[in-house]
Structure 1
Amino acid sequence: MTTIFEHEEKTAPSDDTAPTGIIGKASNLIQSVAQKDITQLVLRIAVSVPFWKSGDLKWDGFLQLSEIAPLLFENEFQLHILGNTYPFPFPYVFAFGAGLGEVILPVFLVLGIFTRFAAFGILGMTAVIQLTVPTGWPVHLTWAAMALAIMAWGPGRIAVDHFLKRIYR
C-alpha cells in the first residue's frame, strides 16, 4: 500500500521508443539545427548586446564616466516600488556600478568566463532596470529568461569556463 507521500517514478521513454515517423524525423532535423552548445553561445551573446550598448554610452574613457550617466541616475531614473517613486541613492555610485556591470558582464558572458556568475549579475541588473522602467517588462522578461537559462545550463562547450574545467579536473 502506498501513502500520499510515496509515488511511482516514471522513466522517460528510451530512444528506442522515440517517434520514428515523419514527425520524429522532422523533430530530429530541427533539433540538429539547434545544437546545445551553439544555442548556449547565442543566448550568451544575445543577452550581452543590449547591456554592452548601454554601458558603452556611459563611458568617455577608461574609468571615466560620461557627464550624462550620473545625471540620469540623479534626475531621470527613479525606482518604482509599491506604487511610489524614489530617487536612486548615491547616483554617481549607481551610475559607475551600472556602467562597470554593463561592460564587464557582457564580455564575461560572450567569452564564457565566470559565466553563471555573470548571468546572475545580468539578472540582478535586469531586476533593478525593471524597478526603474516598469513599462519595459516584455523586454526585461526576455533578458531574465536568457540569464536564467544560462545560469541553469551553463555556458556550453564554446566557453573559456569549459576549457578551464577540462584542464583543472
Structure 2
Amino acid sequence: MPHTWTETSPPDARMELRAWPHNSLSAQGFAVMILGFFLFASIPLYGLLGTVLLWGLLPFMLAAVAGLYYALRRNERDRQILEVLTITHNSTRLLRTNPKGDTQEWEANTYWVEPQLHPSGGPVPFYVTLKGAGREVEIGAFLSEDERKALYGDLVERLNRARNQREFS
C-alpha cells in the first residue's frame, strides 16, 4: 500500500501517516517502454529504407516517441504528491505537498476531528474526508478504492485511540 503509519510511545504519543500515489513504472520500466515503442513503431519503416517516403514518415514516428516520452514524464511529475497526517492527543494536522512544491495545511483539535467516508457523491467512490475546525479536507483521494476503505478504518481507530490518551493524561 502506498501509505505507512509510524507511532511514538507515550508521553509524547504521536501517530503519523504518510500517503503518496502509487507509481508502478520504475526508471528501468520507463526506458524499456520508450525503447520498445521506438523499435515497434520503426518496424513498418524498414521496408521504406532507401526511399524518399521514409523521410516523410520518420518525423511522425519520432513525434509519437517524443509524445510518449513527454506524457510519461508529465505523469510522473504530476504524481509527486505527499500527504502527512500527524495525530497527537491535542491536535490533528494534515500537510499536503503538491506536485509543484506548494503546500496546503489543515489543523484541528483531535477531539473534534471527524473522519467521514462518502460512498458516492465525491470525486471518487469511497471518498475520505476529515472534518474539524470549520473545514472539511480530503485525504488519500489518489489511493485505490480498497486502500481508501482501509484508510478510513485506520483513521477511525487511531483518532479514537488519541482521544482516549487525552482522557487518561
Higher strand share: 2
* Max Rg structure: 2
TM class by smaller structure: under 0.3
Q: What TM-score does the superposition give when structure 1 sets the normalisation length?
A: 0.26
Higher helix share: 1
Q: What TM-score does the superposition give when structure 2 sets the normalisation length?
A: 0.26
